[in-house]
Amino acid sequence: MINYTLMVAAGTEIFAAGSSDDDSGGLGLVFLLSGFAFYTVIYLRYRNVDKRHRHEAETEAVLLNLEEQDVFVASKKGLTNSRMSGANSTKVHGALRKFF
Amino acid sequence: MDNLNADSPHTGHTAPVPEAAPSAAEIAPPVAAEAPPTSPASVDTGGSAPVAQEDAGGDTPRIVRTDEGAEDGLTKCARCGSTEISLNVASGNLRCGFCRFEWTAENALEAFDLNGDIGKLSGIVVGSGSSDIIPSVEEVLTFKCSACGAEVVIDTNNSTQARCHWCRNTLSMNQQVDNGAVPDMILPFTIEKASAVERIAKFVGKRKFFAHPEFKREFNPNNVMGVYLPYMVVDINAHGRFTGQGEHQTRSYTVKVGDKDQRRYDADRYNVMREFDIHVNDLTVESSSDRLDQDTSKNSNNIINTIMPFDIENSVRYDSNYLSGFTSERRDSNLDQLTPIAHTQAADVTRHRVNDTLKFYDRGVRWDSEEVDVRGQRWVSAYLPVWLYSYQQKKSGGKTFLHYVAVNGRTGETMGSVPVHQGKLLLVSGIVQLFGTVIGLVLVAVGV
């Protein structure tokens, strides 16, 4: 019996490969994992184990009396990642759905 | 947010933070329902109804009675006196089965003033139907029929109504007892069964090719059931202070590393602070322990979770007649069990809203500290309407897995879990992999 978790993990590697800084060979890798990707996409479409109520966006809320501080610290040059290291402002901790 | 400049960050505090909101003692007492004439029956509950409290600070909840004027027993049509009353889904009204007279219960939030200014909430305000469940209170209650005197049993796990086996009158339970069976409010179905059947058939119809053959053989969307599921609806008044760092990209360019091109980025880093009040309205959390368990390797409860949200503001005062023809699931979780998940979700909502003020930081923000101080919270229990198609899949080793296809009884949002024919899917995936490997090796060889 093929382990579904491993398959999904392999599937996610496709996207990691696709977003690599070094793009050469990326498309080839995508094809090399096409069977795993196909399984993952179909399984998710049928079973929808990844779906949940997006409470963070679908719940009505209002921000009031806002104070802001934005203080320049430093300029960084030659960063290799397109995203800030450790960025966590979009994290969701209250999802009831346990996926894996 | 209209007082933000997303393009150029600025420094300094801009607005003072007000003091904590005043006490919410102004919440009005509940208004008695305009109930049709009734002949109340006696009930042996084995427990006592919640006691209203005038005010309570700190962690002691202040209870707002939501069953004032409600009576158990025979609820009769005001025009003809029949007890054959049920929901007319098309109109959202209660309708007499004999004379077709229609009426509706009061809007619950207005009747109990549970939609007051969230900014004025302090401490914990709880609808009496959300009170803690006392384990000693029976789940199966015995009523005496006031029409014929027979004893009638209501299993509150599945309903709050039963028909007298002697005189055929319908007995309703509308008063709250401490077993979680009667909530503060109910949101009636507005999606009709035929529409739910159509939506489920369409959803499954798009997922037939890899569906398990036994499921395809046995699938009959007409077996859908209307179920009122228990939820807690929470309003939260909180103050938050987030601190961390954010990065704004100033340049993106390509450099040569050996014989390969690589992307590089320049960015400005800022210390970021946001301090604010936040009002969270109608955060909805499952209040049945079964539904709270959403481990997708064991159940498909995440499907029912996905069809939220509901239009909670249209909920009405609880009346058992809304359950006629439907089933219900009793609440079995108390505030202390639900508070951690509600507060965690409120923090998620807060973080998401704060993101609207961070558009300048296109490389992201890392919060090092997130303080959310809940100053006031209001809890109301509700039955919310779900059309549910369920399929028990038999697996190897005698195991079973319950799949759901669910339709929101108000919005029609549909989601489902369709059992997969693993052998077929693996075979097709293997064929895709075979072709993919050949093409991939060729592409890697030529360096694409």
Per-residue pLDDT averaged across B210-232, rounded? 95
CA nearest to B248, candidates B266, B267, B273: B267
From chain A, pick out residues whose CB is under 8 angstroms from the CB of B6.
Answer: none
User: Is A5's Cβ below 8 Å from some Cβ in B?
Assistant: no
| B233 CB-near residues (< 8 Å, 6+ apart) | B282, B283, B284, B312, B379, B380, B381, B382
Per-residue confidence (pLDDT) for residue B49, from 0 to 100: 34
| Residue bearing the bigger pLDDT, B252 or B152 | B252
Per-residue confidence (pLDDT) for residue B440, from 0 to 100: 85
Which residue in chain B has the smallest CA separation from A83? B363
Identify the band that residue B36 occupies on the pLDDT scale cut at 50, 70 and 90.
very low
Q: Answer yes or no: is pLDDT of B296 > 80.
A: yes
From chain A, pick out residues whose CB is under 8 angstroms from the CB of B444.
Answer: 25, 28-29, 32
Per-residue confidence (pLDDT) for residue B35, from 0 to 100: 34
Looking at the complex, report in whole angstroms how far the Cα of residue A16 sits from the nearest Cα belonging to chain B: 15
Per-residue pLDDT averaged across B60-70, rounded? 78
User: Is B448's Cβ below 8 Å from some Cβ in A?
Assistant: yes
**CB–CB of B223/B121 below 8 Å?**
no
CA nearest to A50, candidates A14, A22, A83, A12: A12
Record: contact A61-B429, CB cut-off 8 A: no
Per-residue confidence (pLDDT) for residue B177, from 0 to 100: 67
**Chain CA centroid to CA B140, Å:** 25
Identify the band that residue B446 occupies on the pLDDT scale cut at 50, 70 and 90.
confident
Interface test mutation site (partner A, options B216, B235, B296, B372, max chain A beta carbons within 10 A): B296
- Closest by Cβ to A75, choosing from B210, B266, B417: B266
Q: Answer yes or no: is pLDDT of B23 > 90.
A: no
Per-residue pLDDT averaged across B46-75, rounded? 59
Per-residue pLDDT averaged across B318-333, rounded? 87
Chain A, 34-63: which have a CB under 8 Å from a chain B CB?
34-36, 38-39, 42-43, 45-49, 51-53, 55-63
Q: Answer yes or no: is pLDDT of B46 > 50.
A: no
Looking at the complex, report in whole angstroms how far the Cα of residue A43 sits from the nearest Cα belonging to chain B: 7
Per-residue pLDDT averaged across B226-238, rounded? 95
Q: What is the DSSP string of B274-289?
A: EEEEEEEEEEEEE-SH
Identify the band that residue B44 occupies on the pLDDT scale cut at 50, 70 and 90.
very low
Q: Answer yes or no: is pLDDT of B50 > 70.
A: no
Picking from A76-85, B13-22, B94-103, B289-298, which range would have the lowest pLDDT averaged per residue? B13-22
Instruction: Give the torsion sign (CA, B109, B111, B112, B116).
Output: positive
Tens of pLDDT, residue by residue over B239-278, are: 999 999 999 999 999 999 888 889 999 999 999 999 999 9
The whole-angstrom separation of Cα B127 and Cα B110 is 13
Per-residue confidence (pLDDT) for residue B20, from 0 to 100: 34
From chain A, pick out residues whose CB is under 8 angstroms from the CB of B356.
Answer: 63
- Closest by Cβ to A31, choosing from B282, B415, B439: B439
ipTM over 0.85: no
Per-residue pLDDT averaged across A45-73, rounded? 96
Record: contact B4-A25, CB cut-off 8 A: no
The whole-angstrom separation of Cα B441 and Cα B70 is 73
Q: Answer yes or no: is pLDDT of A23 > 80.
A: no
Q: Answer yes or no: is pLDDT of B21 > 50.
A: no
Picking from B38-47, B266-275, B317-326, which range would have the lowest pLDDT averaged per residue? B38-47
Picking from B64-73, B368-377, B409-418, which range would have the lowest pLDDT averaged per residue? B64-73
Interface test mutation site (partner B, options A68, A77, A98, max chain B beta carbons within 10 A): A68
> Which residues, in sequence order, are bridge partners of residue B238?
B278, B374
Picking from B14-18, B231-235, B279-283, which range would have the lowest pLDDT averaged per residue? B14-18
| Residue bearing the bigger pLDDT, A91 or B28 | A91
| B259 CB-near residues (< 8 Å, 6+ apart) | none
Identify the band that residue B389 occupies on the pLDDT scale cut at 50, 70 and 90.
very high
The whole-angstrom separation of Cα B338 and Cα B81 is 41
Record: contact A70-B280, CB cut-off 8 A: no
Decide: residue B264, CB within 10 A, 0-12 exposed, 13-18 middle, 19+ buried: middle
Q: Answer yes or no: is pLDDT of B6 > 80.
A: no
Instruction: Give the other-Cβ count within 10 Å of B17's Cβ.
Output: 15
Identify the band that residue B179 occupies on the pLDDT scale cut at 50, 70 and 90.
low
**3-state helix/strand/coil string of A32-94:** HCHHHHHHHHHHHHHHCCCCCCCHHHHCEEEEEEEEEEEEEEEEEEEECCCCCCCCCCCCCCC
| Residue bearing the bigger pLDDT, A57 or B445 | A57
Record: contact B441-A77, CB cut-off 8 A: no
| Residue bearing the bigger pLDDT, A46 or B44 | A46
Per-residue pLDDT averaged across B382-388, rounded? 96
Per-residue confidence (pLDDT) for residue B136, from 0 to 100: 59
Angle between helices B422-446 and A34-47 (to 10 degrees): 140
| Residue bearing the bigger pLDDT, A54 or B138 | A54
**Amino acid present at B244:** G
Picking from A7-11, B69-73, B136-140, B325-329, which range would have the lowest pLDDT averaged per residue? A7-11
| Residue bearing the bigger pLDDT, B356 or B142 | B356
Record: contact B429-A32, CB cut-off 8 A: no
User: Is B43's Cβ below 8 Å from some Cβ in A?
Assistant: no
Looking at the complex, report in whole angstroms how far the Cα of residue A15 sits from the nearest Cα belonging to chain B: 15
User: Please, where are the H alpha helices in B41-142?
Assistant: 108-111
Interface test mutation site (partner B, options A21, A27, A47, max chain B beta carbons within 10 A): A47
User: Is A19's Cβ below 8 Å from some Cβ in B?
Assistant: no
| Residue bearing the bigger pLDDT, B210 or B395 | B210
The whole-angstrom separation of Cα B201 and Cα B267 is 51
Size of interface A-B (CB pairs under 8 A): 301
